[in-house]
């Protein structure tokens, strides 16, 4: 019996397409689903980091704009 957890995704898909064993098919589908969920979780973590970076960048731009306003007011006095 082949263990889907020890195989590459391509090997699992090839075995699924040949559909030799229903027991293997069920465990292989579960393994593919687990790998897909892991990939989605990794993508979401990267997206969260990007969103945090964009928020920090936006806050920096607001602080820069406030500093420019302050300097403009001070220079006109």
- pLDDT for 21 equals 58
Q: Nearest to residue 25, comparing CAs of 8, 4, 6? A: 4
For residues 27-45, give the mean pLDDT: 84
CA–CA gap between residue 38 and residue 43 (Å, rounded): 9
Between 1 and 65, the more confident residue is: 65
CA–CA gap between residue 15 and residue 23 (Å, rounded): 12
Kindly list the domain boundaries of the chain, sorted by start residue: 4-76
Does residue 1 register a pLDDT over 60?
no
For residues 12-16, give the mean pLDDT: 74
Does residue 6 register a pLDDT over 60?
yes
Q: What end-to-end distance do the CA atoms of the chain give, in Å?
A: 84
- pLDDT for 67 equals 93
CA–CA gap between residue 32 and residue 7 (Å, rounded): 11
């Amino acid at each position: 019996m082949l263990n889907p957890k020890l195989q590459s995704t391509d090997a699992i898909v090839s075995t699924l397409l040949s559909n030799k064993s229903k027991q293997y098919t069920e465990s292989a589908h579960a393994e593919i689903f687990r790998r897909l969920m892991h990939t989605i979780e990794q993508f979401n973590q990267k997206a969260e980091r990007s969103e945090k970076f964009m928020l920090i960048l936006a806050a920096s731009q607001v602080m820069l704009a406030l500093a420019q306003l302050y300097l403009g007011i001070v220079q006109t006095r």
